[in-house]
Amino acid sequence: MRIPSKRVMPLVLAAVLPLPAQALTLFACEPEWAALGQILAPQADITSATHAYQDPHYIEARPSLIARLRRTDLAICSGAALEAGWLPALQQRAANPVVQPGREGMLFVAEQVETINQMDQVPFGAGDVHPEGNPHLHLDPERLRQAGAAMSQRLAQVDPERAAQYRSHYLRWSIRWQQRLDDWHQRAQPLRGQMIVVQHSTFDYFWRWLGIEVIADLEPKPGVPPTPGHLADLVTRLDGQRPLAIVHSWYQNPQSARWLSERTGIPVLALPSTMAPDDGVVTPEQLFDHLLDRLLAQHDAR
């Protein structure tokens, strides 16, 4: 029997040994799902379509995003019509059958986790509301954990070879998350019962979780930019009130909040509504730490 030469042996081994599994490619519509995907699937190649300084309702279906979605194994989006203005065009142009609606490779988190403010019918003139509910559910720590479980299950479905790894990563993260939840509940005690003025419903889940009361919104209707008349009415309505702050997201124009602040004396507080790696907010834990730090600092400064 002829023994293979040293030069032939590597070819023989390559033919019989299994090839390493290819890294999973994930497309996250928002940074929160990219960050959670990094925890659950650290080996994956992950892209976020938006960042903390962008309004996730409105982005351009850029060629780079189309190319990315075309080769994606799993797309993860908030859903509840948050991406309705741009995702369908992206899906159509990418022509990737895996990430079309109803397919295993397309995960809308709002279909897996119960949302607040759902509506059977949208009244005429109600503004830019989401009948499927508020899509910003990642700002509730409890719902974010549920989202992690749903993501772990979907990852296991699209990549069964690593199913055990995804479940293990989720369980370890969930245990750590519970420890952080206990700490956040304790730290947040001074904020319970406080009042706040907002711009849009971005942080509604967070306010509910904290027990903070929203007493006014700079938007006359959801999704409708602040108007001079509405802002003037707010000056009268807020007379004598002592809310903690006027809060707007990083991606929102601060002009209206500053105008109202100058006339009421209520301080303005800009907060990130999602992860912002360039600003040191990389993980979900860091996001909630940052939000609580800013609110507590505002509370202590009163």
| pLDDT single digits (tens) 155-178 | 999 999 999 999 999 999 999 999
Nearest to 170 by CA among 41, 60, 32, 12: 41
Please answer whether residues 151 and 183 qualify as being in contact, where contact means their C-beta atoms are separated by less than 8 angstroms: no
Sign of the alpha-carbon torsion through 187, 269, 227, 134? negative
DSSP 8-state secondary structure symbol assigned to residue 276: B
Q: Which pLDDT score, from 0 to 100, does residue 123 have?
A: 63
- As beta bridge partners, residue 47 has 27
What is the CA angle 43-32-80, rounded to 5? 120
> Around 219, how many Cα atoms within 13 Å sit in the side-chain half-sphere?
19
pTM (two decimals): 0.90
Average pLDDT rounded to a whole number, residues 200-204: 95
Q: Which pLDDT score, from 0 to 100, does residue 126 have?
A: 52
What pLDDT digit, counting tens, does each position of 32-86 carry?
Answer: 999 999 999 999 999 999 999 999 999 998 999 999 999 999 999 999 999 999 9
Average pLDDT rounded to a whole number, residues 181-189: 96
Angle between helices 87-94 and 63-70 (to 10 degrees): 60
Alpha-carbon separation of residue 1 from 4, 14 (angstroms):
10, 21
Give the SS3 label for residue 294. Answer: helix
A 10 A CB-CB count for 20 gives 6
Please answer whether residues 213 and 229 qualify as being in contact, where contact means their C-beta atoms are separated by less than 8 angstroms: no
- As beta bridge partners, residue 42 has none
Residue where the block lists tokens 């001074």: 190
Sheet with 106-108: strands ordered across: 45-48, 25-28, 74-77, 106-108
Please answer whether residues 228 and 251 qualify as being in contact, where contact means their C-beta atoms are separated by less than 8 angstroms: no
Q: Which pLDDT score, from 0 to 100, does residue 222 have?
A: 87
**Rounded CA separation 68/86 (Å):** 15
Give the SS3 label for residue 255. Answer: helix
Average pLDDT rounded to a whole number, residues 215-228: 94
Q: Which pLDDT score, from 0 to 100, does residue 1 have?
A: 46
Rg of the chain, C-alpha, whole Å: 23
Q: How far apart are the first and last CA of the chain?
A: 88
Q: Which pLDDT score, from 0 to 100, does residue 223 have?
A: 85
**Rounded CA separation 196/216 (Å):** 7
Please answer whether residues 26 and 44 qualify as being in contact, where contact means their C-beta atoms are separated by less than 8 angstroms: yes
**Rounded CA separation 232/258 (Å):** 13
Residue where the block lists tokens 């897996």: 112
Q: Which two tokens stand for residue 186?
A: 């304790």
- As beta bridge partners, residue 195 has 213
Nearest to 87 by CA among 73, 103, 75: 75
Q: Which two tokens stand for residue 162?
A: 């690593």
Average pLDDT rounded to a whole number, residues 225-234: 96
